[in-house]
Amino acid sequence: MAKCHLYLATLGFDVKDIVKFMTSPAVSFIEDLSNENIFIGHKSKIENVIEFIKAYNTIYTSNESDEEKAKNLSNLYLKNGNRNLIGIFRERLNKEFNEDFYKDTLDFEKVLRGANEFSFLGRLLGIN
């Protein structure tokens, strides 16, 4: 996550805006879900969490019945998460998810991609 802060600062974003974005509910959710949990042996890659949120949005915005959505969401959680985390993150995501959350997720995906390229360039040039 530090490389995202550095990347945004290098692009000229104000520190307050960087902090506001990096502590948004979407980015915090991504960071929390991708952090390793040594007690239950869970770790997800950031990219996998972003893909999970995209799949969640597809189900969330579908025209299916509530029953069908609930079934698809349950399958999504079981496919992508450790059973011990399902309840915690299901409740949190159901409460926090909205259009801004999804937009911030897509924006963070772009920032992460740029930060990864920026980091790669630094390694290539021997800067970091």
Residues 4-46 pLDDT 10s: 999 999 999 999 999 999 999 999 988 887 776 555 555 567 8
**pLDDT higher than threshold 90 for residue 96:** no
* Model pTM score: 0.78
Is residue 81 within 8 Å of 40, Cβ to Cβ? no
Cβ neighbours around 116 below 10 Å, total: 15
**pLDDT higher than threshold 80 for residue 86:** no
Beta strand spans in the chain (E): none
Instruction: Report the residue count for the chain.
Output: 128
